């Protein structure tokens, strides 16, 4: 399943990430991780003290990748609206859900301060990153005065995460698309006439 060039710790972390996403913490047993990674029990416990230690490494990796993926879109130099639009419309496996967002619904992760920390930190980072972009747009006259960057950022994150839930419930990515396009319509209404694209 994995490249022969991937080290055993990497295989174990990647396997745990996939299994946490698919099965949750309780459903991800050490035996399932070992089988998925093609690693023996001794090898697993040589690199990690146990399942919680490995799960923490996997959750941190998932959080890091989510930040990197978001920053690749949000970190551009274009208008604020365009960067937010690119973020919410970027290609996703909508029906699988957000790997970080789904961890918030895992009671075993949320009940453990150490496992929950990377999840909370990542969602906080995303809200702050989006708020900074909205604030930048306000400062440059792209959005109408009075727009609250923190409120907009929280709305963007809530819409994306809620869109995953709607899509999974409906069994169709269309529900996600409808949610984020509704959000963009509201945000577009807050653009100043000078920044909005001219009608064709």
* Across 114-121, average pLDDT: 96
Residue 60 domain-assigned (yes or no)? yes
Band of pLDDT at residue 39, cut at 50, 70 and 90: confident
Residue 67 domain-assigned (yes or no)? yes
Residue 196 domain-assigned (yes or no)? no
Give the H or E element holding residue 114: helix 113-139
Band of pLDDT at residue 2, cut at 50, 70 and 90: low
Confidence check: pLDDT of 84 > 60: yes
Percent of the chain residues topping a pLDDT of 70: 96
**pTM check: above 0.85:** yes
What pLDDT was estimated at residue 200? 40
Residue 136 domain-assigned (yes or no)? yes
CATH value at residue 22: 1.10.357.10
* Across 80-102, average pLDDT: 94
**Domain interval for residue 133:** 8-189
Considering its fold, how many domains does the chain have in total?
1
Residue 40 domain-assigned (yes or no)? yes
Cβ neighbours for 100, distance < 8 A, ≥ 6 positions apart:
62, 63, 66, 119, 122, 123
Confidence check: pLDDT of 40 > 90: no
| CA distances in angstroms from 200 to 154, 184, 197, listed in the order given | 32, 19, 9
């Amino acid at each position: 399943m994995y490249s022969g060039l991937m080290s055993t710790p990497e295989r174990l972390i990647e396997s745990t990430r996939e299994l946490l996403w698919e099965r949750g913490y309780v459903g991800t047993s050490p035996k399932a991780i070992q089988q998925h990674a093609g690693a023996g029990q001794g090898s697993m416990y040589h690199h990690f003290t146990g399942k919680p230690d490995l799960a923490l490494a996997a959750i941190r990796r998932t959080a890091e990748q989510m930040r990197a993926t978001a920053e690749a879109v949000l970190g551009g130099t274009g208008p604020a609206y365009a960067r937010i639009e690119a973020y919410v419309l970027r290609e996703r496996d909508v029906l699988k859900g957000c790997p970080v967002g789904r961890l918030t619904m895992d009671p075993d992760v949320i009940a453990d301060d150490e496992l929950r920390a990377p999840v909370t930190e990542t969602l906080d980072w995303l809200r702050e990153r989006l708020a900074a972009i909205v604030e930048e747009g306000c400062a440059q006259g792209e959005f109408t005065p009075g727009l609250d960057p923190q409120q907009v950022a929280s709305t963007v994150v809530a819409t994306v995460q809620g869109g995953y839930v709607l899509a999974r419930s409906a069994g169709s990515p269309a529900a996600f698309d409808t949610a984020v396009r509704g959000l963009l319509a509201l945000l577009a209404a807050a653009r100043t006439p000078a920044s909005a694209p001219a009608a064709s």
